[in-house]
């Protein structure tokens, strides 16, 4: 492949928000744009200013800021059929956004021209040419997104090419080939992209959708054929199943194809998590490169090999993309898993040592009862500490109970749960009562209230997620229950687990572990 420079065009704030459940406030959009700019994205599409007030306001706000790496792009369509470009309100909104880059979408598939736009093929070409020329005359950098290009090319290649030529005649800086329905295969993308570049005599960009799960592969195929820009979204957000996922594309370009696109790739996971957080979207733990399990090893044979040579089961070094190696411990684990986990706690152990075998046996016993330690690293750390006698409980439970009260005869909105906790802390008997929205919330509040005078740092521990799993539904309400709790202190996160026939007891076990594993002093070997 002849190497060439490739620019990144991020459309998370426009195309990404068309995905189900994805929405950003105005402040969110500004913060995402600033994060993408600092990461080194070349173009950031802020929205469609003619479509809603929030996007229009976004472009007002971005003019007040200085952008280091990125140019801000506004998205819109070509003029309407039979309307002069200067009289089209949508075109006027684009111009009034004052965005330095304008991306225009137009029809390249003859099917859409005739059946959706309901205009003559020649009028569609004029719509493209006129609108591009209008923005070039106003000093804008113009990208032309040829919607449904690959479908259009396969049906009528001559007309699809005519739409690109119309954009070029209008002065477009770059025509972009869109696989809008996401149904084209990589070999087709590469062949058509190469053919288009040869026939129009200039580079192109590519905008692939992920309906076949091939958006990243299609983008790489287009780049191999000579495409100089890829349009996509962080974490693959977008309509239907999403767009080209830039968090997968970027390291593939930079590490696999030798095409540098961002100055510091080690920030990739940080950016991915940041965007998910603002979108209020759960992070995909299995996402390539940036997911929590992207470099996780569970099987004993794998872990043994990774312990000797990391690249035996890792295609890159995790730190290259800001991730870390993660050794999981479960019923499939071997001694290598335990040795590495104990080492991470600052407790060196030797293979075949009695305590290693004891830890392994206890983990497998507990998992047979319903425990799951893959997502409960905090509980696993405590289990290892207990067996190795590196654990001294921060309190001793004497008793707890929960009550449920309803104030009013028929209004379920006025309900309260009350929890009472009796325990010994530093040799002192502590009796605490607190309320919550439910029994678990009330227990959490009472436990924290009891410990706060002795451990004020407890206020920095937040419960981030709470999950309940019924392990044997055939037993109905007597079924064993597993509770997983995710906690964070704002810098790190950890998981804990509790299992019981009683969901309250399971929750209590997970809650106690969540607090203990953070408040306990470091193991002696690590504290030196």
**Whether pLDDT at 352 is above 50:** yes
For residue range 17-29, list pLDDT tens digits in order.
Answer: 999 989 888 889 9
Tell me: pLDDT of 491 over 90.
no
Provide the percentage of residues in the chain whose pLDDT is more than 90: 59
- Range of lowest pLDDT (92-101, 126-135, 261-270, 311-320): 311-320
Kindly state whether residues 256 and 355 are assigned to the same domain: no
| DSSP assignment string, 70-110 | -EEEEEEEPPPTTS-GGG-HHHHHHHHTT-SEEEEEEE--H
Q: Which of 32, 171, 28 is nearest to 102 (CA)?
A: 171
CB 165 within 8 A of CB 205: no
For residue 36, the number of C-alpha atoms closer than 13 Å in the C-beta half-sphere is: 29
Instruction: Please determine, for residue 459, whether its predicted confidence score (pLDDT) is greater than 80.
Output: yes
Which residue, 76, 75, 50, 45, is CA-closest to 62? Answer: 45
How far is it, in rounded angstroms, from Cα 123 to Cα 106?
A: 12
Structural domain total, the chain: 3
Checking if the pLDDT of 37 tops 50, the result is yes
pTM over 0.75: no
Q: Is the model's pLDDT at 327 over the cut of 70?
A: no
Name, in order, each residue with C-beta under 8 angstroms of 344's C-beta and a sequence gap of 6 or more: 327
Does 283 map to a domain? no
What are the start-end ranges of the H helices in 369-502?
Answer: 377-387, 439-451
Residue closest to 84 by CA, chosen among 143, 134, 122: 134
Residue 125 shares a structural domain with residue 217: yes
User: Above 90 in pLDDT, residue 133?
Assistant: yes
Mean pLDDT of 372-390: 83
In this structure, the answer to whether residues 433 and 507 fall within a common structural domain is yes
pLDDT greater than 90 at residue 394: no
Domain identity same for 140 and 249 = yes
The chain-wide mean pLDDT, for the chain, equals: 88
Residue 105 and residue 50 in one domain: yes
Q: Are residues 169 and 63 in the same domain?
A: yes
Note the pLDDT of residue 522.
Answer: 52
> How high is the pLDDT of residue 524?
38
Q: Can you give the pLDDT at residue 525?
A: 38
Domain assignment present for 383: no
Confidence class for position 527, pLDDT limits 50, 70, 90: very low
| 118-142 mean pLDDT | 96
> Do 343 and 212 share a structural domain?
no
Task: Please indicate, yes or no, whether residues 266 and 405 belong to a single structural domain of this protein.
Answer: no
pLDDT at 186 over 80: yes
**Closest residue by Cα to residue 419 from 338, 507, 480:** 507
Per-residue pLDDT, 474: 62
In a domain, 380, yes or no: no
Domain boundary pick from 367, 388, 422 = 367
**When comparing pLDDT for 474 and 48, which is higher?**
48
Supply the CATH number for residue 243's domain.
3.20.20.70
**Is the pLDDT reported for residue 44 higher than 60?**
yes
123 plus 228 within the same structural domain: yes
Q: Whose CA is closest to 234, among 189, 281, 266?
A: 281
- What pLDDT score does 196 carry? 97
Pairing status of strand 493-500 against strand 396-406: unpaired
pLDDT at 408: 58
Q: Say what the pLDDT of residue 383 is.
A: 87
Extended strands (E) in 367-477:
396-406, 415-425, 428-436, 462-470
pLDDT digits (tens, 9 = 90+) for 262-275: 999 999 999 998 89
DSSP 311: G
Residues 228-232 have a mean pLDDT of 98
Within-domain flag for 287: no
Q: Residue 307's domain spans which residues?
A: 296-367
3-state secondary structure (DSSP) of residue 324: coil
Three-class SS state of 418: strand
Q: What is residue 390's predicted lDDT score, i.e. its pLDDT?
A: 77
271 shares a domain with 310: no
The predicted model gives 400-417 an average pLDDT of: 70
User: Does one domain contain both 319 and 243?
Assistant: no
409 pLDDT above the threshold of 60: no
What confidence score (pLDDT) does residue 118 get?
Answer: 92
Do residues 489 and 462 make contact, with C-beta atoms less than 8 angstroms apart? yes
Please compute the mean of the pLDDT values over residues 462-488 and round it to a whole number. 79
Strands 415-425 and 396-406: antiparallel
Integer CA distances (angstroms), 11 to 8, 15, 128, 227, 328, in order: 10, 5, 21, 18, 35
In angstroms, the Cα distances linking 279 to 70, 211, 271, 275, 420 are: 21, 21, 12, 6, 37
**Per-residue pLDDT, 271:** 93
pLDDT attached to residue 198:
96
Residue 1 has pLDDT above 60, yes or no: no
> Comparing 88-102, 230-244, 315-329, 469-483, which segment has the lowest mean pLDDT?
469-483
* Distance in angstroms (rounded) separating the CA atoms of residues 9 and 24: 19
Q: Which two tokens stand for residue 78?
A: 């070509």
In this prediction, residue 489 carries a pLDDT of 84
Q: Which two tokens stand for residue 394?
A: 């921060």
Q: Residue 324 pLDDT more than 80?
A: no
pLDDT above 50 (res 438): yes
In a domain, 1, yes or no: no
**Residue 398 scores a pLDDT above 50:** yes
């Amino acid at each position: 492949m002849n190497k060439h420079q490739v620019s990144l065009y991020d459309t998370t704030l426009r195309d990404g928000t068309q995905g189900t459940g994805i929405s950003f406030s105005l402040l969110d959009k500004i913060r995402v744009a600033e994060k993408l700019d600092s990461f080194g994205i070349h173009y950031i599409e802020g929205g469609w200013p003619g479509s809603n007030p929030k996007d229009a306001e976004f472009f007002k706000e971005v003019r007040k800021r200085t952008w280091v790496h990125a140019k801000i792009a506004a998205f819109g369509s070509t003029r309407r059929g039979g309307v002069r470009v200067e009289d089209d309100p949508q075109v006027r909104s684009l111009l009034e956004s004052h965005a330095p880059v304008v991306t225009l979408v137009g029809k390249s598939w003859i099917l859409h021209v005739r059946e959706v736009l309901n205009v003559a093929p020649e009028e569609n070409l004029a719509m493209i040419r006129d609108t591009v020329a209008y923005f070039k005359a106003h000093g804008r950098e113009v990208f032309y997104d040829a919607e449904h290009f690959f479908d259009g090319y396969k049906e009528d290649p001559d007309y699809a090419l005519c739409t690109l030529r119309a954009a070029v005649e209008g002065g477009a800086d770059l025509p972009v080939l869109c696989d809008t329905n996401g149904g084209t295969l990589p070999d087709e993308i590469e062949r058509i992209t190469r053919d288009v570049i040869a026939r129009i005599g200039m580079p192109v960009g590519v905008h692939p959708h992920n309906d076949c799960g091939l958006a990243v592969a299609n983008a790489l195929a287009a780049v191999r054929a000579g495409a100089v820009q890829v349009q996509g979204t962080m974490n693959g957000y977008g309509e239907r199943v999403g767009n080209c996922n830039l968090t997968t594309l970027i390291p593939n370009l930079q590490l696999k194809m030798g095409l540098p696109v961002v100055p510091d790739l080690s920030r990739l996971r940080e950016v991915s998590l940041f965007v998910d957080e603002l979108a209020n979207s759960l992070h995909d733990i299995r996402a390539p490169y940036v997911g929590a399990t992207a470099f996780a090893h569970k099987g004993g044979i794998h872990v043994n090999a990774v312990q000797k040579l990391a690249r035996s089961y890792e295609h890159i070094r995790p730190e290259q993309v800001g991730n870390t190696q993660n050794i999981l411990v479960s019923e499939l684990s071997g001694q290598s898993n335990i040795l590495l986990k104990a080492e991470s706690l600052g407790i060196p152990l030797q293979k075949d040592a009695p305590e290693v075998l004891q830890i392994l046996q206890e983990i497998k016993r507990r998992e047979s009862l319903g425990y799951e330690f893959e997502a409960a690293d905090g509980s696993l750390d405590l289990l290892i500490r207990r067996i190795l006698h590196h654990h001294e409980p921060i309190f001793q439970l004497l008793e707890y109970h929960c009550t449920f009260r309803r104030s009013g005869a028929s209004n379920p909105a006025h309900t309260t749960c009350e929890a009472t906790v009796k325990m010994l802390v530093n040799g002192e008997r502590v009796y605490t009562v607190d309320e919550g929205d439910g029994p678990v919330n009330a227990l959490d509040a009472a436990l924290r209230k009891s410990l706060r005078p002795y451990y004020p740092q407890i206020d920095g521990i937040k419960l981030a997620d709470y999950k309940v799993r019924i392990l044997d539904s055939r037993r109905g309400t007597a079924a064993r229950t597993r509770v997983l709790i995710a906690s964070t202190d704002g810098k790190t996160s950890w998981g804990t687990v509790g299992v019981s026939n009683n969901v309250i007891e399971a929750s209590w076990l997970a809650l106690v572990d969540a607090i203990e594993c953070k408040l306990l002093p470091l193991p002696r070997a690590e504290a030196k």
